Amino acid sequence: MTYLTFLEIALPELWEGTLITLQITLITLIIGFVIGFPAALARIYGGKALGAISTAYTEVLRGTPVLVQLFIIYYGLPQFGVTLPAFSAAYIALGLNSGAYQAEYFRGAIQAISSGQMLAAQSLGMNKLKAIIHIIIPQAFRLALPAWANEVVSMVKVTSIVYLTAVPDLMTKAKMLSSKYFNPIETYLTAAVFYLVIIGILTVVLSYIEKTTRIPGLEMEAEAR
Amino acid sequence: MVEPIIRLDNIHKSYGKDDILKGISLEIMEGEVVVIIGPSGTGKSTLLRCINQLTVPNSGRVWVDGVELTDPKVDINKARRHIGFVFQDVNLFNHLNALNNISIGLKLVLGMPAPNAKEKALLELKRVGLEQKADLYPGQLSGGQKQRVAIARALAMDPRVMLFDEPTSALDPELIGEVLEVMKKLAREGMTMVCVTHEMGFAREVASRIIFMEHGVVVEEGSPEQMFANPQFNRTREFLGKISELYGKHTE
């Protein structure tokens, strides 16, 4: 079989897998943001108890392999009577994992903002909540964007571990094709190109967002320092 | 009897074992321009921040405009609205242009509708001579322009008093003049001002009182004439001599 005839069979399969990969990436990133951003706020502004919970969460999830986390949720929880479909298990495991990383990126961004910004807001009579929402968060999002873009790119690739729980993503499709046609080089290289294109497109989109949200004059100031 | 607009009673502040303020009492009357001088690390900025409670004193009481700010029941955010504060490191909101730096407080704190807030912000920018720069972001302004916007931001809240924490010490020498001009104009308009600054030209010209602080206490205070011509303590004379040499020249 020539590579072209193989592609005719493989492309629709890989495309299906790509859609699943994108779906898992998107949902995972959203779950990660919904958990990670409040976790960062809790760690900085939440006081001792909330801060400790947030710290424990980020350290445990960043300190253990994501594959172990996925297996605990997919294979471990049924022992306690909680059996999750493969997709849900993937969303939860990867979402929790991404949340820990996103928490750290947002924490770094918030802490990079000079404490004078909060003082200035308070000196005008703003309460802390208003200052966080209107002064700190808009700046923190911009500062976190490069690291967050990195998390997006990384998550596209990390999702490939779901082939171990039989979620039909791009990696799983590639594995199936490879065992069916005994051509691992062609299959996996083709799959690699798919990943590369996804990530290339995402990178262009994210750097466009980074450019359009950049604060005018700020890069000038950074150079002057 | 006229009540002082700012009253500090026996303010103490320490960080760990370091006593920064060791019992400061002060009364400042409406319309006064008080200049606080003293060696660095003496607690001048801490004292200023104790007035609007950005730094909470360990003990002692603070009244501004008849309200005791050290009373735990007082809504400190509400009280701060009318105490303008200008920082040494400016602290303009980096993500907002000059106009929005000024209008954000009007909208979020005073609840002013957006069009009115914009109008008022433009007026305040005009007051500091920067109406042309309304659309520029802090990163696009010079140090002096930034500090003038910061003053306009504080003035927009219609403060009863203005506190200045070394507003010119982070600026290039040639930019100091424009900021001092704005401050002098404000002083002449009758604003109550407390300024931590070593700009002796400014002090000579508009201060009603100079306070010399060292090691967390007030060493001596008096009118500029008295302080420059006839200080009671040698230490005051020595310090004034030194800073006049360093800072006095370019503002005269």
CATH code, A144: 1.10.3720.10
User: Which residue of chain B is at minimal alpha-carbon distance from A217?
Assistant: B139
Would the CB atoms of A114 and B89 count as touching at under 8 Å? yes
Contact between residue A115 and residue B70 where contact means Cβ atoms under 8 Å apart? no
What is the reported pTM? 0.90
Per-residue pLDDT tens for B125-176? Answer: 999 999 999 999 999 999 999 999 999 999 999 999 999 999 999 899 899 9
Tokens matching residue A192: 């690699």
- Distance CA(B191)–CA(B195), nearest Å, equals 12
- Confidence band for B223, pLDDT divided at 50, 70 and 90: very high
Nearest Cα of chain B lies from the Cα of A153 at a distance, in angstroms, of 27
User: Which residue of chain B is at minimal alpha-carbon distance from A131?
Assistant: B108
- Confidence band for B243, pLDDT divided at 50, 70 and 90: confident
Nearest Cα of chain B lies from the Cα of A180 at a distance, in angstroms, of 56
Which chain B positions have a beta carbon within 8 Å of A127's beta carbon?
A: 77
Picking from A124, A128, A143 by the largest number of B CB atoms within 10 A of its own CB, the best residue to mutate is A124
Nearest Cα of chain A lies from the Cα of B58 at a distance, in angstroms, of 19
User: Which residue of chain B is at minimal alpha-carbon distance from A124?
Assistant: B81
- Distance CA(B176)–CA(B146), nearest Å, equals 12
Would the CB atoms of A125 and B140 count as touching at under 8 Å? no
- Tell me the average pLDDT across B107-132: 96
Q: Does A122 touch chain B (CB under 8 A)?
A: yes
Query: Which of the two residues, A133 and B1, has the higher pLDDT score?
Result: A133
Would the CB atoms of B139 and A216 count as touching at under 8 Å? yes
- The domain containing residue A42 runs over which residues? 3-224
Count Cβ–Cβ pairs < 8 Å, chain A vs chain B.
83
Per-residue pLDDT tens for A31-43? Answer: 999 999 999 999 9
Per-residue pLDDT tens for B29-53? Answer: 999 999 999 999 899 999 999 999 9
Closest partner residue to B94 (CB to CB) among A122, A126, A218 is A218
Number of domains in chain A: 1
Nearest Cα of chain B lies from the Cα of A36 at a distance, in angstroms, of 23
Would the CB atoms of B95 and A215 count as touching at under 8 Å? yes
Tokens matching residue A177: 């094709």
For chain B, report the end-to-end CA distance as a whole number of angstroms: 37
From residue A104, alpha-carbon distances to A92, A206, B10, B62 in Å are 19, 19, 44, 40
Say what the ipTM of the complex is.
0.93
